[in-house]
């Protein structure tokens, strides 16, 4: 069970490959990071560790570990770890070191040395390879042009050392883009990551629309490399591809664009959240050179690379592309690999490292480990599930429309919302509704499938850039997560469409504090909305508003241990108990003269009641769950045994909702009565019959700037995942899903 499994990936050996893994631990099982030892066979590996979260008793809940194992080409590999091992982790023989001074932060990896300056985000200066000076100022700062300004990452910046070695160093950069007259314009955040013994670094740049204008049109964004006075004739190269990388070479100039036409006519079969292709350029002379690779360039098109005798330019947004709409509060992160190398490094090695950047090795923990050391507490990792269900879940996970584009990758449109006219003629983006990052993280833990993890990280990254509101004058929008809407940020914030668990998962799985900060910000936004008078009165708003708010509060309590989230969750429980007492059921307004039962909204809220039991085993809440589900069974089951949409004659169409599965499972858990699981089994059968969604369709370009593949529902996986798994885990254990299985066991 204590395994870290690396599936077969590259056909090349990777010696001392930088790898990061985050491991959850059951309460009281780990109290000191030094108690954890990771081994390759019998050999303990040096490890750099950081605690991300604690249990209430102070023991470690999540531990981030950086290691550098040797990984074989064309083969898988398994490492092992132990707590309180007799072996002690050895000190790292190769180390990255940092030193802070007035000029900035100096980083040394062994083969590479550079300065991160305090004046401007260049991003690095005074580069040395193997002790030999190469370029004093090798890069321009990041340049941006908009409809009303030309700016650059000049001026003073704030540097913060997040990781100080010995295996990984991370330095955070923050400041404001500056106009030519020195005035500030739009915030930026940067991140530089260096690895012990490696000649490459990762550089990130995030722009944030924190200005007062409702919208800014982005014209261009670029970073330049300056070769300076070359020694001999510079050798230039450019690589691109999604099958085999096509490498062009020249001594004159090379350039390439990734635009909508590129994406429309490339027949890529990869799951794009995991991988699409490669995009890099290389400049070198007799002293050495540097390769610049753009992470997920195709998915985040448009992009452009250009290299000539004087240097190279990475166009993160080319000036030749139509202007991009950046709405107030939006941002965007770009990530680059800067691979410094000697004059004789083969282009195939440069290409291989760039591909490793695009699709890195990520070790996998077994489902049994998550089951035993479950940081989410709820039973998301049942031992017995039908194999057929994994097929259905894979279809749901992979089946939503694919979207590419700088402001769109990581999200999906929804045909139903669009057809309803909610976008006013534009396509409607789901903004990863129902918390796709969280659902994907849970599915990764259960199935071990890499693309589920990749999707969790990609969707959370989209949230952190585009859907999360970084700035707005309205306090009920500022710091919140936007509802599904046209162009992501044209809608409001409402508790029924704000999630915290996916942000927290991103933090726990990566160690990136921005995920934690965003989760807390969304929670605070929800608190401001809940403070409105209508939100405090039973029956004045839709049932799910307080229900999803309760889920967010429970998630924050479990993730942070901050008692203010628990206190708010308790207040919401008291509100719902009063709601039931006043109306005899969880009724809410719909038309001006009705208060119907709405099974899917009420079930969502019941599921949040059950999550509250994870922090307070309140008998009143247990009774409430059972009473509410009995009430729905009595009033909202159709003649086919399936719940209908809403309790009005005009809306009593058959509408099997997955959330009822979960709510009935909790009623069974509390009472032990199989009747609830049998009612749920009918809905399960209805949900899992027939096509998953309209996911096939031509690839097309939308005027919003996206290339979209397929059509259908953008929320089909996150909408159903946890409810399907929790129900199936309980029902399979009772023999109630024997009919839903393949004829032979795996």
Contact 746, 434 (CB under 8 A): no
pLDDT at 538: 86
pLDDT at 711: 83
pLDDT at 695: 52
Is the model's pLDDT at 86 over the cut of 80?
no
Cα(614)–Cα(467) distance, integer angstroms? 29
The pLDDT tens digits for 308-341 are: 999 999 999 999 999 999 999 999 999 999 999 9
> Which residue in 409, 282, 454 sits closest to 352, CA to CA?
282
The pLDDT tens digits for 452-486 are: 999 999 999 999 999 999 999 999 999 999 999 99
Concatenate the DSSP letters of all residues of 624-681 into one string: HHHHHHHHHHHHHB-TTSSBBSSSSGGG--B---HHHHHHHHHHHHHH--HHHHHHHH
Judged by average pLDDT, the poorest of 337-346, 383-392, 451-460, 584-593 is 584-593
* Confidence class for position 237, pLDDT limits 50, 70, 90: very high
pLDDT at 691: 61
How many CB atoms lie under 10 A from the CB of residue 17? 18
* Confidence class for position 368, pLDDT limits 50, 70, 90: very high
Is the model's pLDDT at 694 over the cut of 50?
no
pTM > 0.95: yes or no: yes
The pLDDT tens digits for 241-266 are: 998 999 999 999 999 999 999 999 99
The pLDDT tens digits for 6-22 are: 999 999 999 999 999 99
pLDDT at 589: 84
- In CATH, 97-358 is 3.40.50.1820: no
Sheet harboring 132-135: ordered strands across?
Answer: 97-100, 104-108, 112-117, 125-129, 132-135
Q: What is the mean pLDDT of the chain?
A: 95
Is the model's pLDDT at 61 over the cut of 60?
yes
The pLDDT tens digits for 177-191 are: 999 999 999 999 999
The pLDDT tens digits for 92-134 are: 889 999 999 999 999 999 999 999 999 999 999 999 999 999 9
Q: What is the percentage of the chain residues whose pLDDT exceeds 70? A: 98
Q: CATH fold of 367-733, please?
A: Glycosyltransferase (1.50.10)
SS3 (DSSP) at 540: coil
Is the model's pLDDT at 389 over the cut of 60?
yes
Token readout for 397 is: 């996970």
Contact 497, 433 (CB under 8 A): yes
How far the first Cα of the chain sits from its last, in Å, is: 20
The pLDDT tens digits for 480-528 are: 999 999 999 999 999 999 999 999 999 999 999 999 999 999 999 999 9
Residues carrying CATH 2.70.98.10, the chain? 97-358
Token readout for 729 is: 């885990």
Residues carrying CATH 1.50.10.10, the chain? 367-733
> Maximum Cα–Cα distance for the chain, whole Å?
85
């Amino acid at each position: 069970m204590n395994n870290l499994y690396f599936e077969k990936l590259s056909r090349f050996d990777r010696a001392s490959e930088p790898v990061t893994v985050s491991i959850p631990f059951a309460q009281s099982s780990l109290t000191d990071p030094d108690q954890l030892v990771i081994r390759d066979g019998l050999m303990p590996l040096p490890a750099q560790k950081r605690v991300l979260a604690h249990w209430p008793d102070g023991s470690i809940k999540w531990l981030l570990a950086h290691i550098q194992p040797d990984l074989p080409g064309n083969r898988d590999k398994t490492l092992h770890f132990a707590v309180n091992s007799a072996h002690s982790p050895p000190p790292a023989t190769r180390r990255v070191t940092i030193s802070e001074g007035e000029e900035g932060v100096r980083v040394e990896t062994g083969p590479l040395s550079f300065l991160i300056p305090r004046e401007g985000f260049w991003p690095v200066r005074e580069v040395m390879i193997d002790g030999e000076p190469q370029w004093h100022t090798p890069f321009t700062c990041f340049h941006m042009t908009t409809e009303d300004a030309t700016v650059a990452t000049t001026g003073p910046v704030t540097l913060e050392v997040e990781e100080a070695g010995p295996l990984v160093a991370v330095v955070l950069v923050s400041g404001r883009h500056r106009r030519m007259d020195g005035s500030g314009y739009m915030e930026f955040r940067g991140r530089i990551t260096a690895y012990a013994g490696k000649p490459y670094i990762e550089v990130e740049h995030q722009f944030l629309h924190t200005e007062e204008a409702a919208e800014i049109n982005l014209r261009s964004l670029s970073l330049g490399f300056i070769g300076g006075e070359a020694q001999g004739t510079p050798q230039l190269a450019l690589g691109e591809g999604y099958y085999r990388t096509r490498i062009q070479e020249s001594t004159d100039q090379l350039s390439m664009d990734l635009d909508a036409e590129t994406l429309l006519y490339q027949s890529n079969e990869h799951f794009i959240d995991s991988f699409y292709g490669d995009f890099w350029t290389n400049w070198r002379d007799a002293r050495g050179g540097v390769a610049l690779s753009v992470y997920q360039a195709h998915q985040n098109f448009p992009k452009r690379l250009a290299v000539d005798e004087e240097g190279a330019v990475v166009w993160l947004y080319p000036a030749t592309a139509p202007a991009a709409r950046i709405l107030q509060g939006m941002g965007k992160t770009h990530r680059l690999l800067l691979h410094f190398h000697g004059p004789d490094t083969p282009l195939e090695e440069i290409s291989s490292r760039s591909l490793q950047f695009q699709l890195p090795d990520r070790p996998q923990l077994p489902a049994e480990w998550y089951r035993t050391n479950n940081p989410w507490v709820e039973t998301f990792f049942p031992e017995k599930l039908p194999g057929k269900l994994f097929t259905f879940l894979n279809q749901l996970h992979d089946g939503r429309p694919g979207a590419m584009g700088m402001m769109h990758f990581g999200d999906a449109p929804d045909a139903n919302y669009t057809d309803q006219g909610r976008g006013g003629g534009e396509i409607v983006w789901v903004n990863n509704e129902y918390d796709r990052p969280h659902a994907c993280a849970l599915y990764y833990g259960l199935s071990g499938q890499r693309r589920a993890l990749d999707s969790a990280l990609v969707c959370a990254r989209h949230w952190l850039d585009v859907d999360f509101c970084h700035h707005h004058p309205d306090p009920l929008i500022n710091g919140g997560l936007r509802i599904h809407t046209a162009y992501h940020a044209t809608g409001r914030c409402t508790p029924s469409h704000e999630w915290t668990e996916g942000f927290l998962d991103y933090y726990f799985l990566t160690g990136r504090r921005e995920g934690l900060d965003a989760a807390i910000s969304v929670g605070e936004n929800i608190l401001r909305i809940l403070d409105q008078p209508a939100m405090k009165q039973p029956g004045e708003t839709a049932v799910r508003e307080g229900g999803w708010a309760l889920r967010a509060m429970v998630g924050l309590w479990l993730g942070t241990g901050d008692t203010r989230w628990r206190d708010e969750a308790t207040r919401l429980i008291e509100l719902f108990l009063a709601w039931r007492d006043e109306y005899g059921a969880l009724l809410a307004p719909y038309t001006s003269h009705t208060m119907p039962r709405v099974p899917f909204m009420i079930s969502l809220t019941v599921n949040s009641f059950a999550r509250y039991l994870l922090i307070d085993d309140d008998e009143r809440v247990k009774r409430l769950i059972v009473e509410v589900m009995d009430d729905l069974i009595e009033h909202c089951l159709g003649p086919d045994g399936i719940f209908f949409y809403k309790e009005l004659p005009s809306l009593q169409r058959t509408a099997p909702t997955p959330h009822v599965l979960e709510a009935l499972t909790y009623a069974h858990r509390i009472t032990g009565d199989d009747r609830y699981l049998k009612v749920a089994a009918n809905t399960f059968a209805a949900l899992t019959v027939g096509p998953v969604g309209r996911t096939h369709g031509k690839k097309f370009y939308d005027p919003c700037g996206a290339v979209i593949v397929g059509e259908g529902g953008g929320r089909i996986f996150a909408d159903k995942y946890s409810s399907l798994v929790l129900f199936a885990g309980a029902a399979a254990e009772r023999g109630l899903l024997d009919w839903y299985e393949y004829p032979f066991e795996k």
